[in-house]
Amino acid sequence: MAEHKALSASELCRKYDLAALGFKDTSELEDLWEPLGQDRAVEAIRFGIGVRHQGFNLFAFGPAGAGKTETILRYLEPEAAAKPVPDDWCYVNNFAEPDHPKILRLPAGRAKELARQMESLAEEVRVVIAAAYESEDYRTRLDVIVEQFKLKQEEAFEELQKKAGEKNIALVRTPMGLALAPARGGKVIDPAVFSKMPGEEQEQIKKDISELEGDLQTAVRMLPELEREQRREIIKLNREVTSFAVDHLIDENREKWKDCTAVVEFLDEVRDYVINHSDVFRLSKDEAVETAPAQVAANIAIQQDRVIGNCQVNVLVSHDAKGGAPIVYEDNPTVENLLGRIEHRSEFGSLVTDFRLIKAGALHRANGGYLILDARRLLFQPYAWETLKRELRSREIRIESLTQMMSLGSMVSLQPETIPLDIKVILIGDPVLYYLLSQNDHDFHNLFKVPVDFDDRLPVTDDAVTLYARYVATEARKKQLMPLKRNAVEQVMQRMTRLTGDTERLLSHTRSLSDLLSEADYWASSRGAKQITGADVDQAVKAHIYRSDRLRERTQEQFERGTMMLDTDGTRVGQINGLSVLQLGDFAFGRPSRITARVHLGRGRVVDIEREVELGGPLHSKGVLILSNFLAARYTEDKPLSLTASLVFEQSYGGVDGDSASSTELYALLSALSKVPIKQSLAVTGSVNQFGEVQAIGGVNEKIEGFFDLCDFRGLTGEQGVLIPKANVKHLMLKDEVVAAAEKGLFHIYAVASIDEGIEILTGEKAGELNDSGNYPVDSINGKVKARLEAFADAARRYVKSTEDGKSAGPENG
Q: From residue 147, how far is each of 136, 153, 221 by CA, in Å?
A: 16, 10, 19
DSSP-H helix ranges across 448-607: 462-478, 486-500, 510-526, 534-548, 550-560
Q: Is there a contact between 574 and 672 (Cβ–Cβ < 8 Å)?
A: yes
Annotated catalytic residue within 424, 485, 679, 703? 703
Q: Is there a contact between 488 and 537 (Cβ–Cβ < 8 Å)?
A: yes
Q: Is there a contact between 326 and 360 (Cβ–Cβ < 8 Å)?
A: no
Phi/psi at 319 (5° precision): -115, 155
Catalytic, 703? Answer yes
d(CA 681, CA 717): 9
Where residue 511 falls (left for φ over 0; alpha for ψ -120 to 50; beta otherwise) is alpha
Annotated catalytic residue within 580, 660, 662, 681? 660
With both helix axes pointing from N to C terminus, report the angle between 68-81 and 39-50 in degrees, rounded to the nearest 10: 40
Q: Is there a contact between 717 and 681 (Cβ–Cβ < 8 Å)?
A: yes
d(CA 275, CA 255): 20
Q: Is there a contact between 85 and 320 (Cβ–Cβ < 8 Å)?
A: yes
Q: Which residues contact residue 101 at a Cβ distance below 8 angstroms, ignoring those fewer than 6 apart?
A: 91, 92, 93, 94, 314, 354, 355, 358, 414, 416, 417
Q: Across the chain, which distance is largest between two alpha carbons, in Å?
A: 163
Where residue 104 falls (left for φ over 0; alpha for ψ -120 to 50; beta otherwise) is beta
Q: Is there a contact between 16 and 493 (Cβ–Cβ < 8 Å)?
A: yes
Catalytic, 660? Answer yes
Q: Is there a contact between 711 and 718 (Cβ–Cβ < 8 Å)?
A: no
Tell which residue, 311, 310, 304, 294, has the closest CA to residue 130: 304
d(CA 787, CA 635): 9
Catalytic residues, by residue number, are 660, 703
